[in-house]
Structure 1
Amino acid sequence: MPPSLDPHVLAYYEQGREDARLAPVAGNEADSRLEFWRTQDVLRRALPAPPARVLDVGGASGRHAAWLRADGYDVELLDPVPLHVRQARAKGIPAREGDARQLPEDDDSFDVVLVLGPLYHLPARADRVRALAEARRVVRPGGLVAAATINRWAVLHDGLLKGFFFEAHRREHTMKVLRTGHQDSSTDLFTVAYFHDPAEIPGEFADAGLSRPVPHGLEGAAWLTGGMRERLDDPEQRAVVLDALREVETEPALLGVSGHVLTTARA
C-alpha cells in the first residue's frame, strides 16, 4: 500500500479549484499565470527533445501534462487525488492514482520526472527526500528531474499584497510559518504544507542522489507588482515580463522573492 495522503490536503484539492487556478487565461490572477508560464518556460529549455517519456508526479488535473503532450512528449500522470485523475483523463491524458513517495514504476523507465506539487505537502524532510529519491529511481541515468517548491517568504509577501497580514490572527500564523516553514490545517488560506527556504533545496536534492541542482525563481518580483494582471493580459507586455524574469531566474539573491522555485537536476 502506498503512503496515505493527509486528509486535509485531500479535502482541499477535492474542492476542484486547482484546474481553474492554473489556467493561463486573461483576467486570472497574476501569480497563478506567472507560475504556469514560467514553469512551462523553464521546462521547455531543460527537457530533452520529444517524444521523450515524461512522468508527471502530482500532476493534478493535467494542466502541464496537456501542453507537454501537445509538444509531442509521451506523458503519464500520477496524482493522489481522485478528482484530479478524472480531470486529467477527461483531457485525454493517461492518468492514475499514485503517491510520490512510492512510485508504481520500474527503475530507469522515464526520460523525465516532474514533481511539481508533492513537495509542498510533505512536511517531513525524510518524506521529501524519499519523493525525490523515487523520482531519481525511475528516471534513466542522466535524465531530468524537476521539482517545485513554495518559498518560505511567499506567505509574508502574499499577506502584505492581499491584506491578510494586517489581521492579527493571520499575522501570528504567518510569523509561525516564517519561523518553521510548516503550515497546519488551522488556516483557511491554504492547507497542510511545507514552505522551503531556498537554501534548503540543494541539500534535499543531494540526499536523494540528484546532482547539479539548479533552482529557478519563477515569479520574481513581478507577482508583487501593481497592475501586473493587466500587463499579462497584453501579449506584448507579457513577453517583456517573461523575458525580464528569465534574466534573473537563477540569481541567488532573488530566489526568495518568487512565490515558487523550480529546481532542475540530473540523475
Structure 2
Amino acid sequence: MTDDTVTVRPEILDYYNRGAEQGRLRREHNRLEFWRTQDVLRRLLGPAPLRVLDVGGGAGVHAEWLAADGHEVHLLDPVPLHVEQASALPGVRAALGDARALEAADGSYDAVLLLGPLYHLTERADRLRALAEARRVCRPGGAVVAATINRYAGLHDQLRVGRYFEPGPRAATDACAATGLLGGTGDNPLFTTAWFHHPADVLDEFAAAGLPDARQYGLEGAAWLMGDVNTWLDDPERRGTVLTALRTTESEPSLLGISGHLLTAATAPS
C-alpha cells in the first residue's frame, strides 16, 4: 500500500513520530500489559508455525516475539517510522497499511491481530470496517484478536500517578470517561486522539462485523494499580506468580473493566 492511500490523523502521526512506542511496553508497569498480551496470545494461537497478520503492529513489539516463536509474521502499520523499525526485526516483514482496507486475499492468514487500530478509529463505522477486514483475510477457524483500551483506564491511571488532582489532566480524563473519546489537542497531556471502549461494546462491534461468540480477557486486572507492581515485575519468581494470578480473573465479566486493556478474540466463521 502506498503512502497516499494510508490516512492518519496529523496529531496521531505526530504522537507516534516521537519514537516512544518502540520501547513503551518494556518499561515499568507497562511490562505487565506486554507479558499478559504475550501470555493470552500464546494460548489463543497455539503452536507455531502460523501465518500471522499483525495489523497496526507499531514498531513490532509483539511481532518480534511471535516471529521468534516460529510464526510467519507480516506487520502492517500506517506510521512510516513504525514500518522502518519493524522491518529491522528478524523474521518480520513490514509494510504500510490501513486496517480498514487490507490488500491480503480472503482467508490468507491463520490469525489476524489488531493490537492497536481500534484505539485510534474513533468512529464506529471505521472500527467495524477494520474488524470485517480482519475476518475476511482470516481463514475459517482462525483467530481474530483485537486490543482495546477500557473506558475508565485513563481515570484509573491518572489517579494512580496523581495527575488527576491537576485541573488540566482531570478535565481531559473526565471528558473521556463520560464519552469514550479522548481528544488529541495540543493541550491534552494524556495521549493522542483515541477511543476508550466499554467491554460490552467491543462484543457488539465484533458481532456486527460478523464475529459472534467472542471471548474477552482483561490484561492487567487490578495489579497495574498496585504500588508494588514494578518491584514484583523485576523479580522473575514474583512476576510469574502475578501472571498466573491474573489468569484467575481474566474473563470474569464483573472485573473486565478494571484492566487498562482488553483482548477480545473470535474464531473466523466459514
State TM-score, norm by structure 1. 0.96
1:47 to 41, 45, 48: 45
SS state at 2:197 partner:
coil
1:83 to 81, 84, 101: 81
> Are the aligned partners of 2:6 and 2:97 in contact in 1 as well (CA < 8 Å)?
no
SS state at 1:104 partner:
coil
Partner of 1:203: 204
Partner of 1:4: 7
Partner of 1:263: 264
Gaps of 5+ in 1: none
Give, as a single letter, the amino acid of the residue that structure 1 aligns with 2:78: P
Deviations 1:113-136 (CA, angstroms, capped at 9, x unpaired): 000000000000110011000000
The alpha carbon displacement at 1:252 in A equals 0.6
Cα RMSD (Å): 1.0
Is residue 69 of structure 2 the alignment partner of residue 74 of structure 1?
Answer: no
The percent of aligned pairs where both chains have the same amino acid is 58
Partner of 1:248: 249
Give, as a single letter, the amino acid of the residue that structure 2 aligns with 1:64: H
Is residue 104 of structure 2 the alignment partner of residue 101 of structure 1?
Answer: no
Whole-angstrom distance in 1 between the partners of 2:162 and 2:107 = 47
Give, as a single letter, the amino acid of the residue that structure 2 aligns with 1:208: A
> Are the aligned partners of 1:58 and 1:78 in contact in 2 as well (CA < 8 Å)?
yes
The alpha carbon displacement at 1:22 in A equals 1.5
The alpha carbon displacement at 1:145 in A equals 0.3
The alpha carbon displacement at 1:3 in A equals 5.0
Give, as a single letter, the amino acid of the residue that structure 2 aligns with 1:212: D
SS state at 2:207 partner:
helix
Gaps of 5+ in 2: none
SS state at 1:212 partner:
coil
Alignment of 1:1-267 (within 5 A): 2=5, 4-23=7-26, 28-30=27-29, 32-92=30-90, 93-186=92-185, 187-267=188-268
Give, as a single letter, the amino acid of the residue that structure 1 aligns with 2:168: H
Whole-angstrom distance in 2 between the partners of 1:38 and 1:2 = 34
Runs of 4 or more, structure 1, over 6 Å off, are none
SS state at 1:111 partner:
strand
Whole-angstrom distance in 2 between the partners of 1:229 and 1:243 = 16
State TM-score, norm by structure 2. 0.95
Size of the alignment, in residue pairs? 262
Whole-angstrom distance in 2 between the partners of 1:212 and 1:167 = 42
